[in-house]
Amino acid sequence: MKNSTRRVLAAFLALRYVAFTVLTLLALAYSSIVRADEAYPSRKPISLIVPYPAGGASDYSARIFSDVIGKAIGQTVIVENIGGATGVIAANRLLKLPDDGYQIFHGSPNELILPPLVNKSVKFKSEDFELVQPITTATLVVLARRGLDVDNLDDVVRLAQQKGRAPVTYATVGIGSLYHMIGERLTKELDLNLQHVPYQGGGPALTDVAGGQVDLAILPFTVSMVHQQAQGRFKIVSALSNEVPDALKSIPLIKESKLVKNVDYRISGGYFVKTGTPAHEKNALRKAIGTALQDPEVRQKLQHEGRLVAQPMSAQESDAYWTTEISKLRELVKLIDYRPQ
């Protein structure tokens, strides 16, 4: 009787183990199905974070891209404007969000490389962000107010080297921006009497050089500047690079300067994610952004604004590009011995 009882108990336990195993396998299978149903990016819309208020150049570019990226990836892309502190507030927000590919950042070196080099209060590092895909490059130009007796960059240098005159003032989008760092480099290397005047964005800086409140401005080029020059509001005296859009073909290039050497600066924008974002999500975003970059309408709109539009890059190419940008700007800050403030 005891043996019979043991056999029944053993059979019961074996049956229970089999049932448990089957239920576990079924649960795992169901979980896999649920995860498959939620495959990226089906779970929610993608947020495209723009680190400046609506209506500016960055916002305009982001809205050109958002619809095409959304169609390519199969999910709505919503532009989210988070302005303030030259992009630092938006960058910090990205770092506080999950690294799940549902947040991408419309950024440039002004927001992601220079702040930790020039601002003591910024705690993030450039390596906290991964470049998914470069998108555009803007030419940097030097503008001179109406009535300032300069026609090219060498004229600006000679004017700022004159002894006994008031400082030549120049406007930029803010302290610690690339444009400010370029001004600091020229001041240091050529012994110029320049005075930096920081503004809260390119619009106010452009308005004041057109109004004569400042002598010069160092800003990213837009096609509207050509029209304003034609109206006599200011003069475009030089590009700070040797590759320029068609609208600037008549403007002196930096290589034409006899006094300014080894200077070739542009500012490139791209789409970034938080470091640690899974490869599958990054690859999906890279493919969708690449599709947008090859869209004829997207390219036409951006080129019309004076941008040089990138060609799609591989993951390895994007990583190498970002590493080079970080190294180049760290070297610039070191070269001018700029101390974080």
> Looking at the structure, do residues 222 and 311 belong to the same domain, yes or no?
no
147: enclosing H helix or E strand: none
> Looking at the structure, do residues 72 and 87 belong to the same domain, yes or no?
yes
pLDDT tens-digit map of 158-201: 999 999 999 999 999 888 999 999 999 999 999 999 999 998 77
- Where in the sequence is the domain holding 192, given as residue range(s)? 139-256
> Looking at the structure, do residues 150 and 244 belong to the same domain, yes or no?
yes
Number of domains in the chain: 3
In a domain, 244, yes or no: yes
Backbone φ, ψ for residue 15 (5° rounding): -65, -40
CA-only gyration radius of the chain, Å: 27
In a domain, 329, yes or no: yes
> Looking at the structure, do residues 235 and 147 belong to the same domain, yes or no?
yes
pLDDT of amino acid 182: 97
Backbone φ, ψ for residue 284 (5° rounding): -65, -45
Backbone φ, ψ for residue 273 (5° rounding): -130, 165
Contact between 137 and 268 (Cβ < 8 Å) = yes
Residue stretches of the chain with pLDDT short of 70: 1-38
> Looking at the structure, do residues 56 and 155 belong to the same domain, yes or no?
no
In a domain, 284, yes or no: yes
In a domain, 105, yes or no: yes
pLDDT of amino acid 341: 82
In a domain, 261, yes or no: no
> Looking at the structure, do residues 177 and 252 belong to the same domain, yes or no?
yes
pLDDT of amino acid 3: 53
In a domain, 341, yes or no: no
> Looking at the structure, do residues 184 and 112 belong to the same domain, yes or no?
no
pLDDT of amino acid 41: 96
Question: Which domain CATH number covers 157?
Answer: 3.40.190.10
> Looking at the structure, do residues 191 and 131 belong to the same domain, yes or no?
no
> Looking at the structure, do residues 272 and 128 belong to the same domain, yes or no?
yes
Question: Which domain CATH number covers 128?
Answer: 3.40.190.150
The end-to-end CA distance of the chain, in Å, is 89
> Looking at the structure, do residues 129 and 53 belong to the same domain, yes or no?
yes
Query: Among 197, 229, 256, which residue terminates a domain?
Result: 256
In a domain, 41, yes or no: no
Judge residue 92's burial from the number of C-beta atoms within 10 Å of its C-beta, 0-12 exposed, 13-18 middle, 19 or more buried: middle
Backbone φ, ψ for residue 115 (5° rounding): -50, -50
pLDDT of amino acid 57: 81
Question: With b meaning 16 or more CB within 10 Å and e meaning fewer, what string describes 147-178?
Answer: ebebebbbbbbebbeeeeeeebbbbbbbebbb
> Looking at the structure, do residues 249 and 229 belong to the same domain, yes or no?
yes
